[in-house]
Amino acid sequence: MLFRYESLEGFEGKLDAYGQSLRKTVLQWTGIPVSVGIARTKTLAKVANHLAKKSDKAAGVLDLTQDKYIAAALERTPVEEVWGVGRRIAAKLHKVGIVNAKQLAQADTRWIQKTFSVMAVRTALELRGQVCFGLEETPQPNQNICVSRSFGQPVESREQLTEALSGYAARAAEKLRAQGLCVQTLTAFAMSNRFDKATAYYNAASHIFDTATDSSLELVKVVEPLAGRVFRKGVRFKKAGVVLSGLVLHNQVQRTLFDNTSIRRRDSRLMTTLDRLNAGGRQVYFAAEGIDKPWQTQFNHRSACYTTRWDELVQVG
């Protein structure tokens, strides 16, 4: 969790105590342990968050709003751990002796821009406490959506591979509609056990829709021919999935001249009804997804959701 100091303006009390309260609440409500970084810029807040995870003294919360602590924190942070510094940039910085965040913050901005980019300059300025990146109040739409699983047992038939990919496509379509998106390209892939070098196999195939869609009907329909293209007889498939790319907002779809709007409206109503029926868990699904599903992923060793599911509460006595 990241906080910029301005967003906590007017808060009474110590910021680290407030951070501990947030950690406790998130853990209690979701069962997810988090760390909290507080600073005057987004990049510094990410540095604080990184150190909060590593430091026993910080105990999951680090307040870097006071200048006297910032220099020491930057000196302890390897330059490759700075948000916005990739492996290639880090390697070049190491060659000129810049190995930590403090040295990057002190570097000449003209040299940084000439050697790297304007974004690298902004990163350095943020480390100095100058705000260059805003915090996103709402998450940006996905650039792509992937649904994939490892099989509970190896899949060797084209029929079972088609069933699995159909189920993944239907689930991906649900994610599309939940975010108000439509897809232009669907890619199906399948692979064998990648650790077995002698029989390793991977293949993928794609379909481009004439008009971007969020209909499960359209996505599942194109899966069967794609499954035929990626399937190979004799291969024991370990994992498969679908990737949706070329995502656009539902209200920005460019339709073709011959697009049937009446059918599209009918499908939209059908998908709305389907999503309502499956709101509490997938109860209605396509026949193409299979019935017995011996290949389905096993969750025998998954931890129970004690804090988020009534039916998994701990029973005593």
At 223-268, the pLDDT tens digits run 999 999 999 999 999 999 999 999 999 888 888 888 888 888 999 9
Q: How does DSSP assign the chain, residue by residue?
A: -EEEGGGGTT--S-HHHHHHHHHHHHHHHH-----EEEESSHHHHHHHHHHHHH-TTTTTEEE--SHHHHHHHHHTSBGGGSTT--HHHHHHHHHTT--BHHHHHHS-HHHHHHHS-HHHHHHHHHHTT---SPPPSSPPPPS-EEEEEEEEEEE-SHHHHHHHHHHHHHHHHHHHHHTTEEEEEEEEEEEE-TT-TTT--EEEEEEEEEEEE--HHHHHHHHHHHHHHH--TT--EEEEEEEEES-EEGGG----TT--HHHHHHHHHHHHHHHHHTTTS-----GGG-SS-TTSPP-TTPPP-TTT-GGG-----
Query: pTM above the 0.75 mark?
Result: no
Domains of the chain in start order, with CATH, are 2-127 (no CATH), 145-289 (3.30.1490.100)
- Residue 3 is predicted with a pLDDT of 58
Residues above pLDDT 70, as percent of the chain: 91
Q: Tens digit of pLDDT for each residue in 31-74?
A: 888 999 988 899 999 999 999 988 888 888 988 888 888 999 99
Over 60: is that where the pLDDT of 12 sits?
no
Q: Tens digit of pLDDT for each residue in 180-196?
A: 999 999 999 999 998 88
